[in-house]
Amino acid sequence: MGDILRQGRDREPRRRTPPLVLAAAGVTLLVLAGVLVHGLLEPRARHVSGAQATTRPPSAQPSPAPAVTAGLTQGARPLRPEPVGLAGVPVALGSGVQLLLTGAQPGWFSPATGRFKPIWGLPESGPGYGFTRVAGGWAAQGYSLPTPSCQTCAGQPSPVYFIADGRARATRVGVASEAAADGRGGALWLTTYRPGADITVTSGIAQEVSLAGQPIGPRVHLPAGYVIDRAVGGALLLAPYSQGPGVVTDELWDPGSGRIIREFANVIAASPEQIAWNPCGAQCPVYVLRLSTGTSMSIPLASGTWAVGGTFSSDGRLLAVQVSAAVMPDGYAAANRLEVIDIASQRLTAVPGTTISSRVGLSFGWQPGRDRLLAAVEEASAVVDVASWQPGDSYLSIQAARIPRGTALVLGDGG
């Protein structure tokens, strides 16, 4: 396995933009700022600390190839303003779509009925809750405001909860500084730091636990400055907590031996058995590695485009990616679009109606247990357009939904 995973180390890395973590405090100014910065930085959804919500420093936008032109189609055309909303056919999404909303009191929302069901067992949290996608549901942890004197220092460990898909009750799993998805169902990885410790230079203590909070295996000390993104194929995918300008590299780390199995530049998505990365921007395809077999593949993108984020479907058969194209005079990408990769056939399909200006934030994720992709433009408004698409559809289905004030949609791997 080690020899297989070490293949490809010579590929040129590319900068990856880290996430902006914003506590859902319901303050209009913060929401507006978060939407704008999210649209500019175009991050992959990453795991964040529930004990202390921090803003990690942004990295520079990668420079595309000189031949890159505006838009997300082959061939050149002049730069022009891109849409700020999704384009599709107004269609009721049906009662089967239940959306997770975060906020001081998270809950499930039905676009079909407009009904909101609070998740019982989650104490109300003024700063809001952070969610991490795990097998069969979500891990939730309340935010606490960062210490002004140390934005990267750990706060007091806080409770971690599990919410099964569609269920309106949370189960307390344990207390930790960080929570991450395990590679198997019915378990989580919890990491604890000493309160006040600077996470960028400190080693966290990680423990795999069942959803009942029972330890699974021994505790392990993580490499200093790294946090768990998620477990993949029996190993842990680690990301540097502080992600500044330059190349951002994740490490696939064996918790038993403490050995680094392989490094990945610009990871865009990960699942229990697969890792996807786009190491050199507009000059490289998307690479996907399946750890259970050691096989890897490369999927070319349209000329002059690069992937900035993605998420695997529940069964791992499909990979939705957000691609960008062109660079405007201010250094930011001109446009984004969603595309879906069929892992078995390696076929790339553009999702119609999703070409959108990079100035607005776009959330997307797979409906649990289905091959239906959901997307929404992040707005500082109670009314959001929720879009739906499945392989084979020739258009995007869109339904306007009025969500409760002070809440926000959670789509993808986290929110």
Per-domain boundaries in the chain = 2-410
Higher per-residue confidence, 139 vs 359: 139
Residue 262 reports pLDDT greater than 70: yes
Contacts of 174 by beta carbon, 8 Å cutoff, 6+ apart = 159, 160, 190, 209, 213
Does the domain at 2-410 match CATH 2.120.10? Answer given as: no
Residue type, 235: A
What is the 3-state secondary structure of 36-70? HHHHHHCCCCCCCCCCCCCECCCCCCCCCCCCCCC
Categorize the per-residue pLDDT at 258 as very low, low, confident or very high, splitting at 50, 70 and 90: very high
What integer is the mean pLDDT of 269-275? Answer: 96
Tell me the pLDDT tens digit for each residue of 307-351.
999 999 999 999 999 999 877 777 778 889 999 999 999 999 999
Q: What is the mean pLDDT of residues 266-279?
A: 95
User: Residue 246: what pLDDT?
Assistant: 62
Residue whose C-alpha is closest to residue 326's, from 350, 355, 348: 355
Would you state the structure tokens that stand for residue 57, as one six-digit string?
């420093």
| pLDDT tens digits, 348-375 | 999 999 999 888 889 999 999 899 999 9
Overall residue count recorded for the chain in this entry: 415
